[in-house]
Structure 1
Amino acid sequence: MSGPVTFEGTVLVGRDFDPVEGRVVVEDGVITAVEETSTGSTDIVAPAFVNAHTHIGDSIAKEAGRGLSLDELVAPPDGLKHRLLREASREETVAAMRRSLEFMAESGTVAHIEFREGDVAGVEAIRDAGEGVPIESVVLGRGSVDAMEHPESDGYGASGARDGDFDTARNATRRAGKLFGIHAGERDADDVNPAMDLDPDFLVHMVHPDPVHLDRLADADVPVVVCPRSNLVTNVGVAPLRELVERTTVALGTDNVMLNSPSMFREMEFASKLTDVTAVDVLRMATVNGAELAGLDCGLVEEGRPAKLLVLDGDSDNLAGVRDPVRAVVRRAGETDLKRVVR
């Protein structure tokens, strides 16, 4: 049996990502120690990413739909995305999804929460796409309740309260003990209260919450997943991250591959530079907050946690001379700075 493995450098420790010079000791896939010591290494060791909201089926149509509105792009049943998915063969869709999963895995994402179009067949397709790819897909089926009840489905991902009656799906999801997420407040505030009336496990987008919705979020402690790049691409605005972070748990997602690359580095930089939340807030959104929302035990560098880590080259041409490693990971680092993804 192989012995422990160590990763040295500036380690971003715990929920506040305190930068500590030292080493992380890993044995049998678990962090057994985080030791503060002089190492001489310029590497940065950080938790790996959890992408809390994806639609990767539309990997078949990257950058399609120039000039179209949000509804024309993605609204069911006849938005451009849905028409293209219907026209594509299963083999084409699975192959395209697999490439997106491989990109996410290679760029530091160890898990993602997928709102999976295509009903039962869609759930089965993404499981086929992910076979052998080192990323955990938390799959929320869409369409019929059967998509949620499929043994390879982790829950139900609703499009939005204005798109139909989801009471049956919500009740079935609750009985099954699975996750229920729903889009809300993306283009306006009208669907926020109906979405919250379903007592969801989390909401997605919340670009347009009214003050009463913010208070309700705080009272109900309902997590929110934000997707700032997607919201700007579709011209609906930017979620008020500071107000949301002050009231509930906020996670970060990249949304449709059709619109954006599923890069958490890009999403973090965008969220940090576009809004007034701190780099620590954003790194939590990209790691532990998404993990906890999905019921996963990762996203932090702590003893006893699974060793899901990123090792970045702090002496790369891009990162050499960095004074604040947390800001560097959030606002500056990219895929080319990655030396290793530890799983």
Structure 2
Amino acid sequence: MVRKRVHPPMELEGTILRGRSFDPVEGRVVIEDGEIAAVEETSTNSDDVILPAFVNAHTHLGDSIAKEAGGGLTLEELVAPPDGLKHRLLRAASREELVDGMRRSLQFMRSTGTGTCIEFREGGVEGVEQLRDAADGIDVEPVILGRETTDAMEASDGFGASGANDADFDRERRATREAGKLFGIHAGEVDSSDVDPALDLDPDFLVHMVHPEPHQLDRIDDSEVPIVLCPRSNVVTDVGLAPVAELADRTTLALGTDNVMTNSPSMFREMAFAAKLFDLSAREVLRMATINGAEIAGLDRGVVAEGREAKLQVLDGDSDNLAGAQDIVRAVVRRAGQADVNQIVL
């Protein structure tokens, strides 16, 4: 007989960033068996700030073994399959090294408030198994999109395609649709040439979309396909910046940190960068880092509301960094960091 895991009841008190609008209310979050049972407004003596754990909507954790390798290389030289620097380093690494590197990145993600990531996982079925081994015993839940083979898709939560100019992904798209699994694809990172064929696949989401043409923006508007932005990555690889205002008017946007090789998988850093770079409100950016990514992955989390999964983080609102904040949502997005995290509830 399989026994259902029972979680002990828990109460969190402080300023709650409640609902999709992250309205700050003083009160208590009651958690029962891993679910938010109640969000109660009441006076407390706590300076804590309670908000959803982040959903990092685009990662490549495999290259955790190669942090800051290849400075000055172009995007193609860094990551283009099959012989970009990243792929050469992955082939040269042992399984133990790859698993340990990913485990360390998952642990770092947990310490910086991330509870879930959507991972484009190289290495076929073996790559999927490596990440599962890395995640064993760590509360961060990777939504794994296998790459390279339909077998990897069948062994994981879906398929993460490199780009429509790299190969014909019609078979993988049909397979994910038949299996009811996620299909995501990179598009518009270097130029617009792969955007139309990517949209023709009717993906569940696109990644990057730095260079859409006007007619492609219209197609995005019509399909409402969600887009995951990776602004720090786009700056590091010098491909440009996505037209965020135009995209935000047309569809749902989420945030991802992309390759660990070039950027730390910290959603605090990604949020601060996006908030200061683009004309987006703090609430929009926080939504991109939480519920929007969760909805792309089909997960019932990313918001503090009754009936939702209790995937939460608790920040110290009286830390030297956050004390005196006049707008707590803006402070969380633009200045909070790892040192402010008091507790992760996953």
TM-score range, shorter chain: over 0.9
Aligned to 1:62: 67
Contact 2:120 2:144 survives alignment (8 Å): yes
- Give the 3-state SS of the residue equivalent to 1:316 in structure 2: coil
Aligned to 1:46: 51
Partner Cα separation in structure 2 for residue 132 and residue 196 of structure 1: 37
2:206 is the counterpart of 1:216? no
Provide the alpha-carbon RMSD of the alignment.
Answer: 1.1
Aligned to 2:18: 13
Aligned to 2:249: 246
Q: Which amino acid aligns with 2:321?
A: N
The one of 111, 124, 127 aligned to 1:119: 124
Aligned to 1:88: 93
Write out per-residue CA displacement over residues 195-218 of structure 1, whole angstroms, 9 at most, x where no aligned residue. Answer: 000010000000111221111111
Partner Cα separation in structure 2 for residue 30 and residue 41 of structure 1: 22
- Give the 3-state SS of the residue equivalent to 1:162 in structure 2: coil
Partner Cα separation in structure 2 for residue 20 and residue 60 of structure 1: 42
Percent identity among equivalent residues? 70
Contact 2:26 2:42 survives alignment (8 Å): yes
Partner Cα separation in structure 1 for residue 57 and residue 20 of structure 2: 18
Q: Shift in Å at residue 4 of structure 1?
A: 3.7
Contact 2:7 2:34 survives alignment (8 Å): no
Q: Structure 2: any 5+ residue segments left out of the alignment? A: 1-5
Partner Cα separation in structure 2 for residue 328 and residue 189 of structure 1: 36
Partner Cα separation in structure 2 for residue 40 and residue 133 of structure 1: 31
- Give the 3-state SS of the residue equivalent to 2:198 in structure 1: helix
Q: Shift in Å at residue 9 of structure 1?
A: 1.3
Partner Cα separation in structure 2 for residue 213 and residue 10 of structure 1: 42
The one of 205, 210, 219 aligned to 1:207: 210
Aligned to 2:259: 256
Kindly report which structure 2 residues correspond to 1:127-276, keeping only aligned pairs within 5 A, or say none.
Answer: 127-150=132-155, 153-276=156-279
- Give the 3-state SS of the residue equivalent to 2:159 in structure 1: strand
Q: Which amino acid aligns with 2:183?
A: F
Aligned to 1:102: 107
Partner Cα separation in structure 1 for residue 264 and residue 7 of structure 2: 37
Q: Shift in Å at residue 43 of structure 1?
A: 1.2
- Give the 3-state SS of the residue equivalent to 1:175 in structure 2: helix
Partner Cα separation in structure 1 for residue 129 and residue 63 of structure 2: 16
Partner Cα separation in structure 2 for residue 110 and residue 19 of structure 1: 21
Q: Shift in Å at residue 3 of structure 1?
A: 6.5
Write out per-residue CA displacement over residues 97-155 of structure 1, whole angstroms, 9 at most, x where no aligned residue. Answer: 111111111211111000001111111111111111111111001111111112xx000
- Give the 3-state SS of the residue equivalent to 1:172 in structure 2: helix
Q: Shift in Å at residue 168 of structure 1?
A: 1.1
- Give the 3-state SS of the residue equivalent to 2:192 in structure 1: coil
Q: Which amino acid aligns with 1:74?
A: V
Partner Cα separation in structure 2 for residue 209 and residue 148 of structure 1: 28
Q: Shift in Å at residue 312 of structure 1?
A: 0.5
Q: Which amino acid aligns with 2:89?
A: L
Give the alignment's TM-score, normalised by structure 2. Answer: 0.97
Aligned to 2:293: 290
Aligned to 2:3: none
Q: Shift in Å at residue 91 of structure 1?
A: 1.0
Q: Structure 1: any 5+ residue segments left out of the alignment? A: none
Aligned to 1:26: 31
Partner Cα separation in structure 2 for residue 95 and residue 310 of structure 1: 25
Write out per-residue CA displacement over residues 42-62 of structure 1, whole angstroms, 9 at most, x where no aligned residue. Answer: 211111100000000000100
Q: Shift in Å at residue 2 of structure 1?
A: 8.1
Q: Shift in Å at residue 322 of structure 1?
A: 0.1
The one of 75, 79, 84 aligned to 1:79: 84
Write out per-residue CA displacement over residues 195-253 of structure 1, whole angstroms, 9 at most, x where no aligned residue. Answer: 00001000000011122111111110100000000000000111122221211111100
Partner Cα separation in structure 1 for residue 214 and residue 45 of structure 2: 50
Could you list the structure 1 runs, at least 4 aligned residues long, displaced by more than 4 angstroms after superposition: none
Q: Shift in Å at residue 40 of structure 1?
A: 2.9
Partner Cα separation in structure 2 for residue 171 and residue 128 of structure 1: 28
